[in-house]
Amino acid sequence: MIDGRHWDWETGQKKIPMADWRDRFGWVEEPYASQDGEKVAAIVNTGEETFNVCVNGDTWETDFDKIWHLRFLSDGCLAALVSEQGEWTVAIDGTSWENMFGYVWNPLYSRNSGSVAVAAQQDMRYCMVLDGKPWDETYANMTYFTLSDCGTKTAGAVQVVAADSGEIHKFKQGTFTAALQGKAWDTTFVNVWNLTISPDGEHLAAEVRQSLYDYTIAVDGLTWDRTYTCVWEPVFHPKKNHVVAPVRVGGHWMLAQDGEPLWDRSFVQLWHQMFSPDGDRIAAVVAPKYGRWTVAIDGLPWKRSFRDMVTDVVFSPNGKQVGALAKEGRNWYVVTDGTPWSNTFDMAWQPVFSPDGEHVAAKIEKNGKFSVALNDQLGSYMCDAAWDPVFSPEGDKILLRFIEDGTYYRRVVPVGEFAR
């Protein structure tokens, strides 16, 4: 969660020149802007086999053999996967974790802290690493990695029964389970897929396959009483230990809570469910009929549906509004509470609501250029690169971050003057 209370919200503009970076380095990779807009960074090539990170024109003190997946964390620090002398780890603001591994990948970032987790392989054994500390237990196989929102727990689907490729009977008996902070459940399954950790980090839920044909949800190793022909990823209630997941029954999809039907209707498809911040409402992407997509709120679908897809559903911070993206043909729409904007785009990104839900903005692309649209009004500029807009805590200003003609801009604009 972004906390912008201490950011600079004075209206105006700041600039960081970037054009000379291409003269100083062998090449410059994709730039990234910090959430507060004060920094812009990119991986740069500093030699024949050396790389560094340039932040506001200054490089880290140490070069690395390779650098991947540069990202700003929610606390403003800069993280990347780095390689030194054939081993991999994570560097935070240029300082590497003490532990090194044969390989690390799939970085995960806490939304509420600066925690970083990665999957790691060492000597053909696998585990998760959180803020530099690996699990005590390692496994022969591991997939479907996850990090709790609180940033204190990691989990993954792990193989706990050895099975050769020809030992089909072992596969049918179950060789996989889930592990939270490295500790595996006692129960095994044919497959374990998408996992989710409770908000307090104490509980773990996952999609599981009990036989070749029976699917259900397991929570802390205990399965729901019912099985289904298929299930999708579960989610925890933000304030209770209830688990909600889409389940397939009789050829249609329903939403179930703790193994019991939650909504009184079914859909051709239902997935990507989410709770409002207070937990009082649930939204999900649904298909009321074949080939038509929309959003359902507490079981009631929007009247407007779309042909190709609906994605990036999001609640406003106060939980009263719902936004999403929709696509028909080549056109992308920003949709709020079931009503699409009149403007269409070549591409759009997840809508961003003001704290009170009164305004909604989105990064968009049109004719090969990027901008931000606010309340269905296009911004006064089109640029080479842009990032998601951010509203001030009071919701009366909007932070814009973009690159044009080799210069990075941080601009704070009053909402009422956005289109001027």
Backbone angles phi, psi at 333, to 5 degrees: -120, 145
Q: Is 149 helix (H, G, I), strand (E, B) or coil?
A: coil
Backbone angles phi, psi at 173, to 5 degrees: -75, -25
Q: Is 83 helix (H, G, I), strand (E, B) or coil?
A: strand
SS (H, E, C) 173-193: HCCEEEEECCEECCCCECEEE
Give residue 373's identity as a one-letter amino acid code: A
- As a whole number, mean pLDDT of residues 107-119 equals 94
As given in the structure block, the two tokens for residue 1 are: 């969660």
**Residue 78 CB coordination number (10 Å):** 19
- Give percent of the chain with pLDDT exceeding 90: 94
Interatomic CA distance for residues 301 and 354, integer angstroms: 24
Give per-residue pLDDT as tens, 62-76. 999 999 999 999 999
Q: What does the pLDDT read at residue 112?
A: 83
| Strand order across the 204-209 sheet | 191-197, 204-209, 215-219, 222-223
- As a whole number, mean pLDDT of residues 273-287 equals 98
Q: What does the pLDDT read at residue 419?
A: 73
Band of the pLDDT at 3, cuts 50, 70, 90?
Answer: confident
Give per-residue pLDDT as tens, 201-227. 999 999 999 999 999 999 999 999 999
Domain coordinates of the chain in residue numbers? 1-100
Backbone angles phi, psi at 290, to 5 degrees: -60, 130
pLDDT at residue 1 greater than cutoff 70:
no
Question: In the predicted model, what is the mean pLDDT of the chain?
Answer: 97
- As a whole number, mean pLDDT of residues 79-104 equals 98
Compute the Cα dihedral for 92, 93, 97, 102 and give only its sign. Answer: positive
Nearest Cα residue to 214 out of 224, 200, 222: 224
Give per-residue pLDDT as tens, 31-54. 999 999 999 999 999 999 999 999
- As a whole number, mean pLDDT of residues 249-266 equals 97
- As a whole number, mean pLDDT of residues 113-135 equals 97
- As a whole number, mean pLDDT of residues 240-265 equals 97
Band of the pLDDT at 125, cuts 50, 70, 90?
Answer: very high
